[in-house]
Amino acid sequence: MKYPDTRRDAIAEDRFGTRIADPYRWLENDLRRDPEVASWARAQDGLARGYLVGLPGRDTFRQRLTALFDHERLSVPRKRGNRTFFTRNSGLDAQAVLVVREGEGKEGAGQDRVLLDPNQWSEDGAAALGEWAASQDGAHLAFAVQDGGSDWRSVRVLDVETGEFLQDELVRVRFSTMAWAKDGSGFFYSRFPEAGTDTTFEAPVQGHAVHFHKLGTPQSQDRLVHATPDRPHLLHFADVTEDGRYAVIVSSAGSGGNALTVLDLDNPAWASRTVAAGLDDLWAVIGNVGTKLFLMTRDGAQRGKVVTLDLADPEPAFEDLVAETMAVLNDGALVGGRLLLAYLVDAGTWIERRRLDGTPDGVVDLPGPGTAGGFHGRAEDDEVFFVFTSYDTPTTILRYEVARNATMVWARPKAAADLAGIVVERRFYASKDGTRVPLFVVRRRDVVGSAPTLLYGYGGFGISMVPYYAPERIAWVEQGGVFAVANIRGGGEYGRSWHDAGRLANKQTAFDDFIAAAEYLKAEGIAAPDGLAIQGGSNGGLLVGAVVNQRPDLFAAALPDVGVMDMLRFDRFTGGRYWMRDFGDPAVEADFHDLVAYSPLHNIRAGERYPAILATTADTDDRVVPGHSFKYVAALQAADLGPRPRLLRVEARAGHGAGKPTDKVIEEVVDLWAFAARWTGLAVKAPESALR
């Protein structure tokens, strides 16, 4: 295969006594503004798509993926006033629409009405509805518009009754929640200052702050509510308690923990009190009863516990309410006079009830093993809505009545798949240091013995890889392939210690866990001898790049998506500094030596036989900028790594994943699965025979 020519510059730096060559630094430039980078990216993408279009099985995968995505998908409903709000994708819509359902007692009760249809916002379907929030009386809706996958947002306000837009428009919004004041006069949101609005990839973002926007006023008059100018790289997110009494502001450096500040909105001056100042422990407000807050925290409890704080006390102190258990506290809600607490046990969910004095009050029945959470309900109501899903269960919306302790289905998709013919196993394997690590294995019931296998991992930022339904994975499994997910360290599956064991100087542990998962799949006869592909996105893309360098012999194919590939310069672009609590600081000598030891870009082993690699990125990704993948693929193509291809697919008008239109999602998966099938030996069959 002849790769496009890539210019090499004589750039090198001495870093703590180590000479670091960086010949492809020019590929860091923003391709939206640099014609040379844009031309290079087009050539790479053209080569990749020219290769991919000739692979067998593409039409079959496209047909099945189209059918598998073609079912109604709803979000968890949110009740405001006598209205219920939720999003709905009928199946193959480019974007989900926002729907309002009128409540009882008025004309048209129970009828659905489309409030916002992002499918009308752009010709290519790449303009999406971002964050949204309805006022507590349901009269107004604040919503964010995401264009082309960018993390930057603009915010508008809608009159729900008339469907008319207000004149209010907010800009410079990025990484924001929206939370309304109880009286509906306005809402809290987060934005960057004027100086932080350079949207080029090279511009770091800083100065995040919470503001309050009063309806009918220009953004220039918005009230600054919370900022940390002495720590400009913190992110701040605001919420308001259900009774409207308090605004709660979470401040974070990116991962690991957060500070917590509470504003008394009954006080005309909005008196502010920081109740948790450090950034090492997680804090989240579940709800309140009067002046008493109920919170989840990992302060002194690495798997989480529930505490209370009475703000009426002159010197309030946290009091333990529900002690830490062997399970990981993952989510919570206060509704109907009860606490509902969702726990992770070996990456699966169970939900228990507690009275407000902390005493046990039973459990919440779930449809089966899987993942549950995302509670939405008002503290004064008897009902709460949440999701339930698993690898073989499409995302279902459940309605739970507290008084009856009864769970019922509010919305269940009808997937075009034989899900009864799929088996999900939870296994455990020993990592390099003997640690017991969970591994989910999904396959067709009639598939026995070794088979082409796709192994997925993430391992970072305390994010747990919990079971959830994904149509694209079903398409792989239907063809007789095996799909596996390793719950490696760096995630949050077993609490803070599991996260800490895979970050900073311990990052190699996450790679060891993933390599051990690959070895286990082969040793157990699950993966074919030369039939194992690996996949991961973002931090998971870093994972894939690192383990391919360390053990290229294990893998037939690798699919790194929007990966962090240059660990020595990640902090120089957009929001890269927010990752330093997980990765470390390249400007600190000890961290530098840790990073350079595994950085995918800097550890490519010329002379080794590498797997086939299809790296994917997008031209508008302003979170993990495409320069990471560009430099990585350029270095792969320049090295002697054997005959298998190393390709780069660049999606246009897309970002880090959120907001990508359904048709683009399907086409990308068609390419990924056809590539993985080619190199793992998966024989793709027509749909009617694949299901037998």
List the catalytic residues.
538, 656
Pairing type for strands 112-116 and 97-102 reads antiparallel
Q: Which long-range contacts (CB under 8 A, 24 or more apart) does 315-319 make?
A: 316/275
**452 three-class SS:** strand
Between CA 429 and CA 459 the distance in angstroms is 16
Q: Among all chains, which residue has been given the structure tokens 């399907």?
A: 666
Between CA 152 and CA 659 the distance in angstroms is 12
**276 three-class SS:** strand
Closest C-alpha to 251, from 219, 223, 229: 229
Between CA 151 and CA 133 the distance in angstroms is 18
CA 192 to chain centre: 22
303's CB contacts (< 8 A; 6+ apart) are 324, 325, 326, 327, 328, 329, 494, 495, 496
Between CA 304 and CA 330 the distance in angstroms is 8
Q: Residue 679 carries which DSSP code?
A: H
Question: Residue 40 is inside which H or E element, if any?
Answer: helix 35-52
Task: Give the CA-trace dihedral at 91, 49, 35, 40, to 10 degrees.
Answer: 140
Pairing type for strands 527-537 and 482-486 reads unpaired
Report DSSP letters for 56-100, one per residue: TTHHHHHHHHHHHH-S-EEPPPEEETTEEEEEEE-SS-SSPEEEE
441's CB contacts (< 8 A; 6+ apart) are 424, 425, 427, 482, 483, 484, 521, 526
* Rounded alpha-carbon distances, angstroms, from residue 98 to 74, 106, 118, 522, 526: 10, 21, 9, 46, 43
Between CA 59 and CA 244 the distance in angstroms is 53
Does residue 211 contact residue 188 with C-beta atoms inside 8 Å?
A: yes
Q: Residue 681 carries which DSSP code?
A: T
Between CA 669 and CA 675 the distance in angstroms is 10
